[in-house]
Amino acid sequence: MPPGLERSSSVASQRIADSLRRRILAGELEPGTRIRQEDVAESLRSSRLPVREALRILSAEGLVTLRPNSGAWVSVMDLAECQATYKLRERVEPLVLSESIPHLTSDDLQRIEELQREIEAGPDVDRLLALDRDLHLITYSRCPIDQLLTMVQRFWNTTQHYRRAYARLVDPSGREVIIFEHRLIIEALKRRDPVDAERFLVGHIRRTRLALAQHPELFVRR
């Protein structure tokens, strides 16, 4: 393929991947939904080649499952798989946070505070999830180990739907717990204290894992 066409195809693939990623993370495409290449190509006015590449990108991110002779499907988890992912998160994300803390800038900390204030203002569930995701990923963003950051991104992608379903069940007291845990983590970040930050984050993730285990109905495919 000529270089110009290759670059054009790459740009188109990324554009399509961005569009599908937004729809999956927003819950517009639920777990188990089949993604038909021809439908995506038609809706985005594209050929099938960049659609196929976009689906490979999303598969690498954990958002899409590619099945031989069957096509592409939005990734789905059962309760056991979700619990296993959360146990991995309890071990990997504190390490990523600890590696990130020395490199967080004053601008990073200011942005984290802004996100937390918006969370405390009581947004709707979808906005809360977006803010929570942004807050945590910023706290990890200065980790110099790209492999760990890729793992964390995949964890968040694959569990997004189930966090949304659970968040709709959380009452005001549950939101207060989330806010309190965030505040503990943020104060540890300000102190540049990786020991406390790791400890508070482990508890934050574990609490959600244990709560999800009490709602197996969230993992029943409709």
What 8-state DSSP symbol labels residue 29? Answer: S
5 pLDDT above the threshold of 50 = no
Per DSSP, the three-state class of 35 is strand
Point out the least confidently predicted range of 40-49, 52-61, 71-80, 85-94.
40-49
Quote the mean pLDDT of the chain: 92
- Whose structure tokens read 């600890």? 98
Q: What is the mean pLDDT of residues 83-111?
A: 98
**Confidence class of residue 56 from pLDDT cuts 50, 70 and 90?**
very high
Residue bearing the bigger pLDDT, 220 or 39:
39
Residue 3 buriedness (CB in 10 A; 0-12 / 13-18 / 19+):
exposed
**DSSP per-residue codes, 55-105:** HHHHHHTTSEEEETTTEEEE----HHHHHHHHHHHHHHHHHHHHHHGGG--
Domains, in order of start, for the chain = 3-74 (1.10.10.10), 79-219 (1.20.120.530)
Per-residue pLDDT tens over the stretch 12-30: 899 999 999 999 999 999 9
Point out the least confidently predicted range of 30-34, 68-72, 179-183.
68-72
pTM: 0.87
Per-residue pLDDT tens over the stretch 159-183: 999 999 888 888 888 899 999 999 9
Q: In what order do the strands lie in the sheet with 71-74?
A: 34-35, 71-74, 64-67
pLDDT at 220: 74
Rounded alpha-carbon distances, angstroms, from residue 18 to 31, 52, 121, 129: 17, 13, 29, 18
157 pLDDT above the threshold of 80 = yes
Q: How far apart are CA 100 and CA 208, in angstroms?
A: 23
Give the rounded percent of residues in the chain with a pLDDT score beyond 90: 80
Q: What is the mean pLDDT of residues 121-144?
A: 95
Strands (E), the chain: 34-35, 64-67, 71-74
**Confidence class of residue 52 from pLDDT cuts 50, 70 and 90?**
very high
